[in-house]
Amino acid sequence: MKSWDVKKGNKSVRDILIKDKNGVAVTNLAEATEIKFQIKENKTDAAAKVEKTEGDGITVLTGDDLGKLRITLLPVDTGMTLSIGVFYFMGLQIKWSATDIYEVKITINDLEAEFFKIVQDIVR
């Protein structure tokens, strides 16, 4: 299983292709009522260490990138609150209605990624 690795205190931008259970790109992301990305120390934690939502770190892409979301983490997100070398859990949830809610798989280089990790930068 792959992880999303980011150097401590750095900005990181990742485009995520959202696929349905049949592996087909989901093209109605703009119709979602809520999109939420979270990083947690434990899966069961009530509070996230980092949370991004549409308009605040998450952008629904269009045109040639239809079916993709762009998640942008700022230096403040990857700096003080996350420790180096710890594998955090990450999740992405998309909601279209009160009963139409999905936690989707995040893939990095075509590999499923459940973990987020901060790595030490060389130049400080």
Burial class (CB in 10 A: 0-12, 13-18, 19+), 118: buried
Residue 58 near residue 34, CB atoms below 8 Å: no
Q: Which of residues 60 and 79 earns the better pLDDT score?
A: 60
The domain in which residue 88 lies consists of 2-119
* Nearest residue to 38 (alpha-carbon basis) of 104, 91, 113, 114: 91
- Structural domain count of the chain: 1
SS3 state at 77: helix
Distance CA 93, CA 48 (A): 13
- Is residue 108 domain-resident? yes
* CATH number for 60: 2.60.40.10
pLDDT in tens, 78-115: 987 899 999 999 999 999 999 999 999 898 888 889 99
- Residue 124 has a pLDDT of 62
Do the strands 34-40 and 12-17 form a parallel or antiparallel pair, or are they unpaired?
A: unpaired
SS3 state at 119: strand
- Is residue 124 domain-resident? no
Distance CA 15, CA 59 (A): 9
- Residue 1 has a pLDDT of 61
- Is residue 60 domain-resident? yes
